[in-house]
Amino acid sequence: MRGIRYLGPLVGFVILAGVLYMLDAGQIGRSLTSIPPAYAIAGLLLVQLQIVLSAWRWQFTARRLGMVLPVGHAIRDYYLSTFLNQVLPGGVAGDAVRAVRHRTEETGGWKAPALGVFLERVAGQGVFFVLAGLGLIIWPFADAGELPPTLSRILLILAIVVVCGLVVGFVILRFPPAFLAERLEAGKAALCRVFIADGAWKIQSLLSLLIVASYAGMFMLASAAVGAPLPWLAAVTAVPLCLLMMLIPLTVAGWGAREAAAALLWPLFGYAASDGVAASIFYGVLSLVGAAPGLVVALMALVRKNKAG
C-alpha cells in the first residue's frame, strides 16, 4: 500500500517521458540550451518576488487572525514551504510544515496556524480561479477565429459552467442550506477579519493579483526565452490552464501534466508543441532553482534539531 503514494508522481514523469518521446526531444534540448542568461536571471528574480509577496500575504493573514508572525520568519518558512512543494508529491506538504513550524511559537495548538495557512492559500487560489475563469469566458470571443471549432465550443461550455458555478457559489454563501449554515457561521468571523474588515480585501486582492500576475508573467517569459513569445491573451487563457496542472495532487509540482497541456495549447498560438514543452520545462526549472534557498532553511533546521538533541 505504501507504493501507491508514489504512483501519481511516477505517472507524471511517465507522461513527461512520453511527451518528449513523441515530440522532437533534440529540438526541445536545443531550445533550452540556447536560452540567453538574461531570461534565466529575470525568471529567478520573479520567483523571489513571488515568495516574498506570498510570505507577506501569509503574515498579513496571520496578523488578521491575531497571531504574531514576523516578516523574516514568514519569508524563511515560505522558502522552505515552496521548496518542499516543488520536490514532494501533492503540493501541500510545504504548507503543512509552515503550519507546524508556526505552531511552535504560538499558543492554542495547531488550529489557528493551520487556519492562517489555509486562508492564505484560499486568497491566492481564489483570485487565480477567477482570472482563469474570466480567461475561459473571453477566449472564444477574443480569438474565436483562430481556434478550432470543437475547442471553441468546449471553451464556451466551460465558460458557461464557470459563470454558473460562480452564481451558485454566491447563492450558497448568501443563503446557505441548513447543513452548511452552522459551519459557515462558525468561520464567518475569521473570514470577515481576514478578507473584509478594515479594508483587508484591498490588501488581499492586491497581493494576490500581483502574485498571480508574476506566475503568469514567468510562464510568458519562459516561452519567450525558448523563442515562442506569446500574445497577451495567452496570459489569461493558455497559461492559467498550464498552471492548473500544478494543482493536481498526485503529481510533483505538475511535472508531466503541465508539459502535456503546453504541448496541446501552444499550437493554438502558431508555435510547435515542442516550444510549449520547452517553455514548461524551463518554467519548472526556474521554479525549483528559485526556491532552492528553502533547502538551506531545511538544512539549518536539521542542524539545530541535532544540536538540541
Question: Closest Cα partner for 207 from 122, 137, 291?
Answer: 122
Q: C-alpha angle with apex 37: 32 to 39, nearest 5 degrees?
A: 80
User: For the whole model, what pTM was predicted?
Assistant: 0.85
Can you say how many angstroms the Cα of residue 236 is from the centroid of all Cα atoms in its chain?
14
The domain total for the chain is 1
Residue 64: inside a domain, yes or no? yes
Residue 173: inside a domain, yes or no? no
Residue 1: inside a domain, yes or no? no
Rounded to an integer, what distance in angstroms lies between the CA atom of residue 69 and that of residue 124?
19
Question: Closest Cα partner for 246 from 125, 120, 78?
Answer: 125
Place of cell 472564444: 140
Residue 67: inside a domain, yes or no? yes
φ/ψ of residue 67, rounded to 5: -100, 150
Question: Closest Cα partner for 100 from 89, 112, 90?
Answer: 112
Residue 232: inside a domain, yes or no? yes
> Is 254 within 8 Å of 247 (Cβ atoms)?
yes
φ/ψ of residue 299, rounded to 5: -65, -40
> Is 208 within 8 Å of 126 (Cβ atoms)?
yes
Residue 109: inside a domain, yes or no? yes
Note down the domain range covering 266. 35-129+199-308
Q: C-alpha angle with apex 154: 151 to 159, nearest 5 degrees?
A: 125
Residue 298: inside a domain, yes or no? yes
Residue 178: inside a domain, yes or no? no
pLDDT tens digits, the chain, 309 residues: what are they? 455 556 666 777 788 788 888 888 888 889 899 999 999 999 999 999 999 999 999 999 988 888 888 888 899 999 999 999 888 877 778 888 888 877 755 455 677 788 888 888 888 888 888 887 777 777 766 654 455 666 666 666 666 666 676 666 655 555 555 544 455 555 677 777 777 777 888 888 899 999 999 999 999 999 999 999 998 888 888 898 888 888 777 778 888 889 988 998 898 888 999 999 999 999 999 999 999 999 888 888 777 776 665
Question: According to DSSP H, which parts of 143-255 are helical?
Answer: 149-174, 178-195, 200-225, 238-244
